[in-house]
Amino acid sequence: MKKKLIIFDMDGTLYLGDDLFDGVRDLFNFLKEKKINYVFFTNNSSHDLDFYYQKMRRFDIPCTLEDNFYSSSEVTISYLLKKKVKTIFPLCNESLLKKLKEHFDIVTEYRKDVKVDAVVAGFYTELIYQRLRDGCLYLENQNPLFIATNGDYRCPIENMNFIPDCGGLIEWMRLTSGKKAKVMGKPNPEVINYFLDKYHLKKEDILVVGDRLYTDIQVGINADVDTLCVLSGEASLDDVKRYPHQPTYIKESVVSLIDMLK
């Protein structure tokens, strides 16, 4: 297998929590040696990109903040700017809120006389129920855009456990308001199109690697590029067998890439 760019998920693919999977450091030394480009793309909008950069540096993975890290937060902001959104009601952590404040007017409570252009939901680990309530009221009583950074239902953590993610939050809001969110991160194929344009590549040059079928693998399927599903995070082999769209490759560990690329 020959590839010019590999797009890696991080949580559940390269590590769980603060535990780097065995052999991952060797994989990235191999990629550097073979001059195969790689980027890290996370749907997790609860941290800024420097959080992931510092984490990968602690793992001694060769990378730079400017060249190797991308997230659903940047995709979301780009979309909102294209739509000429000015005023938003956000449900997200402080790290994403700080970025949103650089571009938009922020509304923090529901008022009948205040119009918002968009309700924006992220991975909200600092959840305040009042904000959830007010976001639903805006969706029910106005007609704003409803945008989500990502649609992941759960986020893997240490010891093969999981915590609720943005997908669960927007589903709760859909059941309350009747409004469905437009998801900006994986599996939206625009994520892949961005890298095709940035690196001037063809689809056959790209491989997407991840542990979630409905985001990591589905984004590759939606964009018609090769995918590798690893069984180190959310998806089990039984999950893969039941999934209606099959990944190109299935491996227990991301480290299998070394042999696949030789």
List helix spans (H) across 62-189.
Answer: 65-68, 72-82, 94-101, 129-141, 166-177
Per-residue pLDDT 10s for the chain (262 aa) are 999 999 999 989 999 988 999 999 999 999 999 999 999 998 888 888 999 999 999 999 999 999 999 999 988 998 899 899 999 999 999 999 999 999 999 999 999 999 999 999 999 999 999 999 999 999 999 999 999 999 888 887 777 788 999 999 999 999 999 999 999 989 999 899 889 988 999 999 999 999 999 989 999 999 999 999 999 999 999 999 999 999 999 999 999 999 999 9
Domains of the chain, by residue range, sit at 5-43+186-261, 84-183
Residues 195, 201: Cα–Cα separation, whole Å: 8
Within 10 angstroms of residue 123's Cβ, the number of other Cβ atoms is: 32
**For residue 193, what pLDDT is reported?**
87
Give domain 84-183's CATH architecture.
3-Layer(aba) Sandwich (3.40)
Contact assessment for residue 152 and residue 167, using Cβ atoms and an 8 Å cutoff: yes
Say which DSSP state 126 is in. Answer: T
**For residue 43, what pLDDT is reported?**
85
**For residue 126, what pLDDT is reported?**
94
**For residue 68, what pLDDT is reported?**
97
Q: Do domains 5-43+186-261 and 84-183 have the same CATH topology?
A: yes
Provide the β-strand partners of residue 44. none
CATH class for domain 5-43+186-261? alpha beta
